[in-house]
Structure 1
Amino acid sequence: MARIAIGGMQHETNTFAPSRADYAAFEAGGGWPGVQYGEPLFAAVQDANIPAAGAIQALRAMNHALVPTAWAAASPSAQVTTGAFERIVGELLARLEAALPLDGVYLDLHGAMVTEAHDDGEGEILRRVRERVGARVPIAVSLDLHANVTRAMLERADAMVAYRTYPHLDMADTGARAARLLDRMLRSGSRLASAWHAFDYLTGIPSQCSFIEPCRGIYRLLGELENRHDAVLSFTPGFPMADFDECGMAVFGYGGAQREVARAVEALRACVADSEPDFALELHAPDDAVARAKQRGEPGAPVVLADTQDNPGAGGNGDTTALLAALVRQDAREATLGLLVDGAAAARAHAAGQGATLAFSLGGRSGIPGDAPFAGEFTVERLGDGRFTCTGPMFRGFRMTLGPMALLRSRAAPGVRVAVATRKCQAADQEMFRHLGVEPRRERIMALKSSVHFRADFEPIAREVLVVKAPGPALADPAEFRWTKLRKGVRLRPLGPGYAG
């Protein structure tokens, strides 16, 4: 039995987003449990599809003694403030030092965190942890599929493993994979062989979905290569919204024999390189998407519109209104949009009460070019407290606390409803709408502020999915960002122009 410290800090940073992540953002959690210190960490993540939960369960099954330190997550946004980073990481390190000596460390990290002081947030966490525990204590890390894997991360961790699904159905499973790698090192008393390769092109996040090609085929090959070469492999398509030099895709792996690991990583590298043309994805203008959805959607088989560029899961605030305006303008029927994040509107709806009709000015508060508040009269159809438990494949077991919520029906277009929330979270679980009395399967159109995660719960009921390009900070085409720190020469989209600096 070994003594293993457990900790983590999850943040996906869109450096082009309008709002930063302060300590309050980590307290809120953005759909994840809030900040946890010490023993409460275990109960907070238990039974949820969270990497730390999978690691804890696996390590306990191996009869290891676990020492909880600190764990935190916040909704994606711009940079993590120095105050939040130092407070959370400082607590993690203090509890780590108090627990010494340790036999191992497991960390639940994202891999794409940028702070006000550190472009490579995870690399900095690993540097500090390594300083405390020393060179001989193995550190295993689970990462998000969107990790921007850096040289510092690879040098300071002994093993890292990333999700293999997007939507992220395997978060807990990935934590368990990291736990098994840690246990393997503890039992053998030796480090694992490793190999790594980075790529010279970026892909937009909608095209990184593992339900569609090319990622579906890439991850299928990854599994085959693992079996063939006795290796544990990862492919991280990256988070192409973090403006620093090492932003981008990578493949890496670990195993017992250097030659086998290197061969497996090389085969995976070649597949990703050859797949570059296949990462292109069709995007639809809001009015075009609504017109098509009106023609094809019907109760029992709605058309799902993904408002990808205002995805709270990629740094958006969930408050842009172009897609809502298109739905109202075209007088869509049996159409629901959500989650529109507007705490003031939710509070006003609660004050007015169910059944009230009044004028609202919805959303449009993030200062996004081309966006503005949507003004109109709406009837308050349903109210909710924002507390419910998700049941879909990705968020199953997540206990949501989204603050006061309201379902508003447009007077100008009575077939259009808007699900309003106070706290931001991407619309990736049907319970977010059922909480307000909406059964998504019965709608003709579901307009969701999400890029890909919604597919896990909504694609099975959808006639088709259309990815919509409306104003927002989470641009679907990385070439449209105003990069300043990216390494020169990297192609800003598949087969696209290289960054000139």
Structure 2
Amino acid sequence: MSKRPIIVIAGLASENSTFTPSRTLAPAFHPLRGDEIKTKYPFIRQGTPLGDAADWRGALIGHALPGGMVTRDAFEELTGEIMTRIKDIVASNKLDGLWFDIHGALAVEDIDDAEFELLRRVRSVIGSDVIVSASMDLHGNVSRELAHQTDLITCYRTAPHVDVAETKERACRNLVELLVKVDGAPKRPIKAWVPIPILLPGEQTSTRLDPAQHIYATVPELEKWDGVLDAAIWVGYAWADEPRNRAVVVVTGWDEASVSKAAEHLAGLFWEAHQDFAFVAPTGTFAECLDAALASETHPYFISDSGDNPTAGGSGDVTWGLTQLLARPEFRSTGGPTVIYASVPGPEAVLVAVEAGVGATVTVTAGAEVDNAHAGPVTMTGRVHSIKIGDKHAAIEVVLQVGSVFAILTKFRKPYHLERDFTELELKPRQADIVIIKIGYLEPDLYDMAADWMLGLTPGGVNQDLERLGHHRIRHPMWPYDKLFATEPDLSARIIPSSNLALIGPDE
């Protein structure tokens, strides 16, 4: 290929629980267009090896905070713009590649496999000869159809995800190397796909601990095999009820025997450990977690209010945890153990607090505007400790001190993952007795701050007790929903043909 390959960038990314009543609208994706995309990703900027190796053309990407299902109107609006922009690029250029920047757990009303549907539509414009490289979250889903429509596909190898940029860069590097190393039509990699009948939450498959730690440590070793280009394991997304939701292995490369052997090896490791996956921390009811925190001599003691985790697909406005916390007599006086609680949305509550100002005593009601299945709105009287305006997610944040509890209220839901999320609100999490966050496993900043922690098994749209949620459409048998398997699962590699060939065989 004498000229630099032309590569378009497009994709929609979110993680959407079908058990959460909230809905995700188009503005939540904060779409980036054209050169805005190259600004977001430094590794494809001009002056970098990848940036100079190809002509990168941004169509549209959108990354939404996890939540409830994406409305069909939102999907059609964003997909329509992606199609229009790609058509404009294709009208005057011969396209060589597509970087498909997705998550893999996009749940859309009335669509079971949204990433496949998006790529199917894009393929109708760019054609089947264009090479597609997809980068994904390991908590995404890879259906047989999605594997067919892609040529290169990879995902994160850590949970918590500390290799996001590395994964996206790998997807782009693999694509560029494929496009520039030969003249004429690039040779398409061979793809070995293995579905595994396991569906577990990320909190039981963290790469901080075995068995996931040693399983994922095997991935880069397999890439050293002759004939193997990339290996990846998807845990799948547990809080959506779709036929595609399950664990999957995909290995790509140039030698069918090598990619098949590598894929079957990874799938075998995963299945052999299916009974060994356990929660990443001690678990308990919310009351048990509070009792343990109060009895502990080490502080700060962190508690995950996991059932309403907004970064897993929770609506973020469940008030159950805060209601339970404020009912405890230990925290009713200002001299009680210091507790930080993050967070509950209350648009009207924060406006009342802002108008009253720091230091004022206010009575406000917040939460349960979307998800009130577990508790109703919570009414509190407390002192306005701090106010912050202008946050990307929350817009307005207010800290209300009620007894010894410092409750964070927001205009819009927000995840709290960083120490500065608290210090910018004049809170000192390292000096608190207890810090309670709507999260699952602790993100690195939180993990580093925690002297000890527990995972609270609390209600919400991303309840860790998966069997209580009521999955009806996932495939069976599926661990842990089915404890007995009549036969061992078929973990043989399926060779998925290129997108310019017919997909042979039924969906599995």
Structure 1 length as normaliser, TM-score? 0.88
- Relative to structure 2, which stretch is displaced further, 181-190 or 115-124? 181-190
> Are 1:302 and 2:300 counterparts?
yes
Do the aligned partners of 1:407 and 1:417 also contact (CA within 8 Å) in 2?
yes
Do the aligned partners of 1:386 and 1:435 also contact (CA within 8 Å) in 2?
no
Do the aligned partners of 1:342 and 1:420 also contact (CA within 8 Å) in 2?
yes
Q: Which residue of 2 aligns with 1:456?
A: 444
Q: Which residue of 1 aligns with 2:20?
A: 17
- Secondary structure (helix, strand or coil) at the match of 1:93 reads helix
Do the aligned partners of 1:335 and 1:444 also contact (CA within 8 Å) in 2?
yes
Root-mean-square deviation (CA, aligned residues, Å) is: 2.1
Q: Which residue of 1 aligns with 2:425?
A: 436
Q: Deviations over 1:478-497 (max 9, x none)?
A: 21122232223223448479
Q: Post-superposition shift, 1:59?
A: 6.6
Q: Which residue of 2 aligns with 1:396?
A: none
The match for 2:251 among 250, 253, 275 is: 253
Q: Which residue of 1 aligns with 2:291?
A: 291
- Secondary structure (helix, strand or coil) at the match of 1:222 reads helix
- Secondary structure (helix, strand or coil) at the match of 2:104 reads coil
Q: Deviations over 1:223-244 (max 9, x none)?
A: 2222245431111111111111
Q: Which residue of 2 aligns with 1:144?
A: 137
> Are 1:191 and 2:194 counterparts?
no
Alpha carbons of structure 1 residues 344 and 22: separation in structure 2 relative to 1, 3 Å:
same
Do the aligned partners of 1:122 and 1:153 also contact (CA within 8 Å) in 2?
yes
Do the aligned partners of 2:317 and 2:413 also contact (CA within 8 Å) in 1?
no
Q: Which residue of 1 aligns with 2:261?
A: 263
Which residues in structure 2 correspond to 1:319-358 (within 5 Å)?
A: 319-328=317-326, 329=328, 330-331=330-331, 333-358=337-362
- Secondary structure (helix, strand or coil) at the match of 1:16 reads coil
- Secondary structure (helix, strand or coil) at the match of 1:72 reads strand
The one-letter code sitting in structure 1 at the alignment partner of 2:415 is Q
Q: Which residue of 1 aligns with 2:122?
A: 129
> Are 1:416 and 2:409 counterparts?
no
Unpaired runs of 5+ residues, structure 1, are 27-33, 48-52, 388-399
- Secondary structure (helix, strand or coil) at the match of 1:83 reads helix
- Secondary structure (helix, strand or coil) at the match of 2:425 reads coil
Do the aligned partners of 1:9 and 1:72 also contact (CA within 8 Å) in 2?
yes
> Are 1:371 and 2:364 counterparts?
no
Q: Distance in 1 between matches of 2:315 and 2:356?
A: 25
Do the aligned partners of 1:13 and 1:112 also contact (CA within 8 Å) in 2?
yes
Q: Which residue of 2 aligns with 1:395?
A: none
Unpaired runs of 5+ residues, structure 2, are 487-508
Do the aligned partners of 2:99 and 2:133 also contact (CA within 8 Å) in 1?
yes
The one-letter code sitting in structure 2 at the alignment partner of 1:172 is A
The one-letter code sitting in structure 2 at the alignment partner of 1:194 is K
Q: Distance in 2 between matches of 1:237 and 1:475?
A: 17
The match for 1:405 among 375, 397, 415 is: 397
> Are 1:380 and 2:369 counterparts?
no
The match for 1:35 among 31, 34, 38 is: 31
Q: Distance in 1 between matches of 2:118 and 2:485?
A: 34
Q: Distance in 1 between matches of 2:47 and 2:365?
A: 47
Q: Distance in 2 between matches of 1:319 and 1:178?
A: 36
Q: Deviations over 1:42-94 (max 9, x none)?
A: 33x245xxxxx679997744521111101112122222112211111111111
Which residues in structure 2 correspond to 1:46-195 (within 5 Å)?
A: 46=41, 60-100=50-90, 101-186=94-179, 187-188=181-182, 189-195=186-192
The one-letter code sitting in structure 2 at the alignment partner of 1:238 is G
Do the aligned partners of 2:37 and 2:58 also contact (CA within 8 Å) in 1?
yes
Q: Which residue of 1 aligns with 2:503?
A: none
- Secondary structure (helix, strand or coil) at the match of 2:215 reads helix
Q: Which residue of 1 aligns with 2:477?
A: 489
- Secondary structure (helix, strand or coil) at the match of 2:311 reads helix
Alpha carbons of structure 1 residues 314 and 297: separation in structure 2 relative to 1, 3 Å:
farther
Do the aligned partners of 1:55 and 1:179 also contact (CA within 8 Å) in 2?
no
The one-letter code sitting in structure 2 at the alignment partner of 1:263 is K
- Secondary structure (helix, strand or coil) at the match of 2:115 reads helix
> Are 1:5 and 2:8 counterparts?
yes
Q: Post-superposition shift, 1:18?
A: 0.9
Q: Which residue of 1 aligns with 2:458?
A: 470
Q: Deviations over 1:345-393 (max 9, x none)?
A: 2122111111111222232333343322222311100000143xxxxxx
- Secondary structure (helix, strand or coil) at the match of 1:272 reads helix
- Relative to structure 2, which stretch is displaced further, 368-377 or 260-269? 368-377
Alpha carbons of structure 1 residues 17 and 380: separation in structure 2 relative to 1, 3 Å:
same
Alpha carbons of structure 1 residues 138 and 22: separation in structure 2 relative to 1, 3 Å:
same
The one-letter code sitting in structure 1 at the alignment partner of 2:283 is L
Q: Distance in 2 between matches of 1:192 and 1:459?
A: 39
Which residues in structure 2 correspond to 1:388-399 (within 5 Å)?
A: none
The one-letter code sitting in structure 2 at the alignment partner of 1:294 is L
Q: Post-superposition shift, 1:289?
A: 0.2
Q: Distance in 1 between matches of 2:484 and 2:389?
A: 46
Q: Distance in 2 between matches of 1:319 and 1:376?
A: 15
Q: Which residue of 1 aligns with 2:366?
A: 362
Q: Distance in 2 between matches of 1:244 and 1:313?
A: 19
Q: Which residue of 2 aligns with 1:212?
A: 209
User: Between the two proteins, what is the percent identity of the paired residues?
Assistant: 27
Count matched residues.
Answer: 467
Q: Distance in 2 between matches of 1:211 and 1:168?
A: 11
The one-letter code sitting in structure 2 at the alignment partner of 1:25 is A
Q: Post-superposition shift, 1:262?
A: 1.3
Q: Post-superposition shift, 1:185?
A: 2.0
The match for 1:221 among 218, 224, 241 is: 218
Q: Which residue of 1 aligns with 2:492?
A: none
Alpha carbons of structure 1 residues 434 and 46: separation in structure 2 relative to 1, 3 Å:
farther
Do the aligned partners of 1:55 and 1:178 also contact (CA within 8 Å) in 2?
no
Q: Distance in 1 between matches of 2:313 and 2:27?
A: 16
- Secondary structure (helix, strand or coil) at the match of 1:278 reads coil
- Relative to structure 2, which stretch is displaced further, 142-151 or 219-228? 219-228
Q: Deviations over 1:85-125 (max 9, x none)?
A: 11111111111121122111101011111212311010011
- Secondary structure (helix, strand or coil) at the match of 2:135 reads strand
Q: Post-superposition shift, 1:297?
A: 5.5
- Secondary structure (helix, strand or coil) at the match of 1:124 reads helix
Q: Distance in 2 between matches of 1:402 and 1:485?
A: 34
- Secondary structure (helix, strand or coil) at the match of 1:146 reads coil
Q: Distance in 1 between matches of 2:380 and 2:431?
A: 25
